Amino acid sequence: MDSWISSQSGLGDPDDIYGPHRKLIRPNMALVVVDVRPTNPLDFRIDVIQGYRLPTGLTDVGALQQPHTFSDFPDTRYLQETMIPAYVGAMERQRPAMRRVATRVLDTVIGYDQIILPQKNSSRRSEWCIGLLDIHFLLPTASKDGSLDDVDLTILQLLAEGSSTKEIASASNLSYRTIEHRIDNLKSRFRARNIAHLAVLSVSAGLGGIVSKDP
């Protein structure tokens, strides 16, 4: 932000802003430059300067980090509701934009903080924007199960809090074996590989439809 504030109007190379700070970008962050010169936002081009580098088995992550125009982006809903308004707004105002987002992109639930820094250009519209994402979580998607009863919901809540099966049984006034059976049933319904995966999928099911912007 300090580099952007001190930058000159009409600066041609966005590297002059982000370049000195690349060593500070952590593996859970992504840095992109978006060419916003086209009048049609679908023709904006996004180049990934540094991608998300934490190990993950979510195959969508790699696909989302390839250079492409907005029209090539594989998730139309996310493009129209989240990406285009953010970059067009920053470009038109020529002011930094900061927001927090939790949403679904393809088959991944993602939560991140974002800052967008548009080129200052007093004589005409910005030609590029820098985007930095601080990604807090990437989760596999899961569907909400409306048939979950109160005991199921209690188990999922306490699992997410780190409770053991014994602790859940005590809090629910049910036997250890009953809770064990319930957990096995939930793992099957969520297609979870283990208890940790079950807790993650239950959280993901609740987050998948949420879009939160502009803190």
How far apart, in whole angstroms, are the C-alpha atoms of residue 176 and residue 170?
8
Contacts of 8 (CB under 8 A, 6+ apart): 120
Tens of pLDDT, residues 120-170: 998 788 999 999 999 999 888 887 777 889 999 999 999 989 999 999 999
CATH class of 150-207: mainly alpha
Report which of 62, 71, 63 is spatially closest to residue 40, judged by C-alpha positions.
Answer: 71
Contacts of 196 (CB under 8 A, 6+ apart): none
CATH class of 2-140: alpha beta
Q: Domains of the chain: which residue ranges?
A: 2-140, 150-207
Average pLDDT per block of 10 residues along the chain, 215 residues long? 91 94 94 96 94 81 75 90 94 93 86 96 90 93 82 92 94 95 93 91 72 44
DSSP string, 145-172: -TT--HHHHHHHHHHHTT--HHHHHHHH
Same topology, domains 2-140 and 150-207? Answer is no
How far apart, in whole angstroms, are the C-alpha atoms of residue 27 and residue 6?
27
Query: What is the predicted pLDDT for the residue at 23?
Result: 92
Q: Are 187 and 126 in contact (CB under 8 A)?
A: no
How far apart, in whole angstroms, are the C-alpha atoms of residue 155 and residue 4?
48
- State whether residue 117 is helix, strand or coil: strand
Q: Are 120 and 8 in contact (CB under 8 A)?
A: yes
